Amino acid sequence: MKFSYAMLPDLPLRDSLAAIRLADELGYHAVYAADETWHKDMWLLFAAAADQTRHIRLGPCLSPVVLREPTLIAQAAATLDELTGGRAECVISSGNFGLLAQYGIDWTRNKPLSRVAEAHHVMRTFLDEGTITHDGEHFHYRGLFTSARPVQRRLPLKLGAMRGPRSFRLAGEVADGVHHSLSYSLRAYEYMVHNVRVGAERAGRDWRTLDLGAWVVFAVAEDGAAAKRAARAMVALYASSMSEEQLARNDVDPADLRPAIAAADAGDLRRAYDLTPAPVAERLSIAGTPAECVDKLKREIEPAGINHLILAITDSALVHALSGLDLPGVPDAQAQLRLVHDQVMPAFG
């Protein structure tokens, strides 16, 4: 089982860089960051982190192909790969539905799956060959080229997926892996793995060689109640990104979250927190004491065949930066990285 740290780059940059350095020292597989307007620019942050780290992999999880042009994502990823000496990777998708709504973009009319499939083809070609001529449904190029070349022979290009089944099957067919965001039940992850396997076998690929990642809202503390309060604030932010069928696979009635989602869509994250029922937030996060976190990961995620845990660590400073809420008693990100290293990772061999 690989462990990675998914950060939201909202804290002072010196603090984010310190957390990345610590994750590198502790042996985490990767640090990912959301490539979203809501946060500071992760490409610049990771460029700064490149020569401050030695082993850890860096990249977006995820970069949105609706808001960012795919060849420009590929250019940035290849440049980061050179800066890190071959430690970059990239996860793409259509993007955060809640964020797209704030841009006035109706993702349901944007043919999201066909756009992602074509963007993956464009990026894979551009990364591998450095040039592209392509006349597709969504993207068009004639002799486009770049001097940005990856150090790795094949820079990993993965898909972020939430709804399924077709997005999971697409990942199994063409990508180097899939990161499934915001799911917390065994039923949801078995659904993901089954459909990845269907897609991989259809393409003659071995699904077990793929990176099967679970991106989860995460908070750990010796004070389990404090950790759960912090996770609840992040659930309030990201609930708007979850489709009704995804909520149902996580045993959540979509009606329970509609008031919170409306508040988050209006930019009022403090009210969204108040309107997010605590029991629902516990279903939609991994939070609590180290033992509680291990128990839920072992019970709800690992048995499905997941081989990569991507922890979106939430602390009180991040909550305050996003919503202005003060939630004491939650260790900072660096302390949580140490807690995971010392008390969670050992349970997974």
pLDDT of 241:
81
Q: Alpha helices, DSSP H only, in the chain?
A: 13-26, 42-50, 70-84, 97-102, 112-129, 166-174, 186-202, 224-238, 244-249, 258-265, 269-275, 278-283, 290-296, 316-323, 333-339
- Decide: pTM greater than 0.85: yes
Query: Could you give the 3-state DSSP secondary structure of residue 22?
Result: helix
pLDDT of 266:
86
- Top-tier CATH class for 2-348: alpha beta
SS3 of 187-208: the string is HHHHHHHHHHHHHHHHCCCCHH
DSSP assignments along 84-121, one per residue: HTS-B-EEEES--HHHHHHTT--GGGS-HHHHHHHHHH
Comparing CA positions, the residue from 180, 257, 225 lying closest to residue 328 is 225
Domain ranges of the chain: 2-348
Q: How far apart are CA 233 and CA 228, in angstroms?
A: 9
- In the chain, the amino acid numbered 88 is A
pLDDT of 53:
98
pLDDT of 213:
98
pLDDT of 265:
82
Both tokens of residue 84? Answer: 């890190």
The residue ranges of the chain whose pLDDT is under 50 are none
Query: Could you give the 3-state DSSP secondary structure of residue 1?
Result: coil
